[in-house]
Structure 1
């Protein structure tokens, strides 16, 4: 369990008010239950909601920031074709990512993950690779700063925290396969290169050797889809973001996703009770909560070691580290 600050019935009524009015669902029956297992939302609180009125049924999912003011303070929750509007929007959004990493002592968190690799690696990760990881951790803030000050001719607004806990999937009720996806939690949206979200997502997902071996396929797939959307906006991707520059950006900055996977993979693999109860820690020791926000004590590190062994061998082979 990480956050014990539930969404109440009154919260749900307030959230659904406009939705019910717009869809003629006043006085509808509302059924709600926990949106996911404890800890699955990590720092968010969730509810699965069913709204029924006559033959009309809506299945909804809500993920919200916790209400605890101290926790909200710690978490900082407080247009391509229209250049001027896009620039103004970027100024409003700002870029606090480096401040957040420093605020949460993220390099210390990465070094803790490195200690786990050293202690439990059992030879699956060689010393040379561990040395490259340590060097990358030491230079992590400089890497982040470089992406903050990147070439804005190729910059877009990215999600900024693009991993599975911030993705909502829709499944086909018959095949049980995912058919659609929505991103949630945009509190660290920022302007930078497209490959930053891509690298974060790729290396923090359920990495198999097959996926790692198919990296070029996924990069081409991403670029082709980006091209389709840019065309809809009336631009030519080959001119504004040539494929060669896209690939060069990947080679230079995909290390960001690899470093993030050292931390995020531990959260993904954690069982209930293995992550910090953030809300409780904030109430008893706010400063310690800030320092230990991403602390995870896995009871079994084998799967984590196997995952990171694959990722790091891939990174060394492709000279990303």
Structure 2
């Protein structure tokens, strides 16, 4: 991303409208890449007053809305380049991972299946057997819905958990961020924009924010549409709000699947986060990497139930 995609994003902005602010990723000062090693020096955003949100706490609505606005701007660059410079965009997609190239049901079931089945047990214990039955019926599609080639519109963020966002606040009010910076693009893929949206919404949102999903998607699309017009493209011809809703219905289980597993990691205390290198060396079974203590497990159960109940009541 830093060697090819972001430099071209900046070049494209200068060509079409230099008033567009590419202000949501850190500046990169030095990059070195060899076949087995990469080194990158980025702007220190902490020195500019940005800080991480507590990863063990869900975001409030204002944080979620700020992320949606920023993703609208970020994704607009891909949409606009794909629209105006299709050959260039095709080249750029080759520099990131191709979503689905090495993914299949068997792989994802091995990685996420047990976590999803545990959530179904939670639903039953919470007297939501009605939803558990619906999830069981849709289990395979929740584990794996192939991403169609025609639905790959953007070069996405990819790794959209809490610690890859830093926020800036005014007057010490940490309930209402004024700016957000996106970090860590190692998992960037050529994808539907809904992958990023569903990942961040289902990993970070509190219950009240989940209840405002329509507002979150509308905020994203308003930002995307405005940014596309600034960049010289017509959103009505490229990606309508109706298409976004169709993509959400088709692909948002991606975030559901990820949250069933990765939310456990997000809720761990610092001292409990596994040493992955040591676990690999000691051949610790992969599923044991995500064992969490009872107090964190209680919070996980509460939050993951909110996520699955929201999805089940609205999209199954």
TM-score for the superposition, normalised by structure 2: 0.66
Q: For residue 297 of structure 1, what is the aligned residue in structure 2? A: 292
Distance in 1, matches of 2:203 and 2:214, equals 17
Aligned-pair distance for 1:203?
0.8
Deviation at 1:115, TM superposition (A): 4.8
2:155 is paired with a residue of what secondary structure?
Answer: strand
Which one has the bigger helix percentage?
Answer: 2
Decide whether the 8 Å contact of 1:200 with 1:258 is kept in 2: yes
In structure 2, the gaps of 5 or more residues are: 1-27, 31-41, 53-77
Worse overlay, 305-314 or 124-133: 124-133
2:179 aligned residue: 180
Task: Return the alpha-carbon distance in structure 1 between the equivalents of residues 310 and 198 of structure 2.
Answer: 13
Q: 1:98 to 1:165 in 2, by over 3 A?
A: farther
Counterpart position of 1:310 = 306
Contact 2:97 2:187 in 1 (8 A): no
With over 3 angstroms needed to count, the CA separation of the structure-2 counterparts of 1:100 and 1:184, relative to structure 1, is farther
Q: 1:84 to 1:295 in 2, by over 3 A?
A: same
Q: Give distance in 2, aligned partners of 1:18 and 1:212.
A: 38
- 1:84 Cα deviation from its structure 2 partner: 1.1
Judging changes above 3 Å, is the alpha-carbon distance between structure 1 residues 49 and 213 closer, same or farther for their aligned structure 2 residues?
A: closer
Q: In the alignment, which residue of structure 2 is the partner of 1:213?
A: 211
Distance 1:59 1:303, change over 3 A: closer
The verdict on how the C-alpha distance between 1:86 and 1:174 changes in structure 2, with shifts beyond 3 A counting, is same
Contact kept, 8 Å, 2:256 with 2:307, in 1: the verdict is: yes
Counterpart for residue 234 of structure 2: 236
**Which residue of the partner structure matches residue 201 of structure 1?**
200
Alpha-carbon distance in 2 for matches of 1:167, 1:243? 25
The 1:217–1:206 alpha-carbon spacing in structure 2 relative to 1, beyond 3 Å, is closer
Q: Does the 8 Å CA contact 1:49/1:61 hold for their aligned counterparts?
A: no
Q: In structure 1, the residue corresponding to 2:184 is in which secondary structure?
A: coil
Q: Return the match for 1:82 from 72, 82, 85.
A: 85
What CA deviation, in whole Å up to 9, does each residue of 1:228-271 have, x standing for no partner?
A: 11112100111111111111111111111112111122122222
**C-alpha separation in 1, matches of 2:189 and 2:293:** 31
Deviation at 1:305, TM superposition (A): 1.8
CA pair 133-194 structure 1, distance change in 2 beyond 3 A: same
2:220 to 219, 222, 242: 222
For residues 197 and 50 of structure 1, the distance between their equivalents in structure 2, rounded to whole angstroms, comes to 22
Which stretches in structure 1 are left out of the alignment for 5+ residues? 1-16, 20-46, 52-56, 63-78
Deviation at 1:90, TM superposition (A): 0.7
Aligned to 2:233, the other structure's residue is in SS state coil
- The worse-fitting range, judged by mean Cα deviation, of 194-203 and 162-171 is 162-171
- What TM-score do the two structures reach when normalised by structure 1? 0.65
**CA 305–58 in structure 1, closer or farther in 2 if over 3 Å, else same:** closer
How many residues are treated as equivalent by the alignment? 248
Larger radius of gyration: 1
The answer for the alignment partner of 1:29 in structure 2 is none
SS of the residue corresponding to residue 115 of structure 2 reads: helix
Contact 2:154 2:191 in 1 (8 A): yes
Match of 1:157 among 148, 155, 158: 155
Are residues 236 and 95 of structure 1, via their aligned partners in 2, closer, same or farther at CA, if it must alter by over 3 Å?
same
Trace 1:269-288 onto structure 2 (pairs within 5 A). Answer: 269-285=267-283, 288=284
Q: What SS class does the counterpart of residue 92 from structure 1 fall into? A: coil
Q: Structure 1 residues 133 and 110, CA, compared in 2 at 3 Å: closer, same or farther?
A: farther
Please give the alpha-carbon distance, in whole angstroms, between the structure 2 residues aligned to 1:120 and 1:247: 28
Rounded Cα–Cα distance in structure 1 between residues aligned with 2:89 and 2:43: 34
Paired position in structure 2 for 1:139: 141
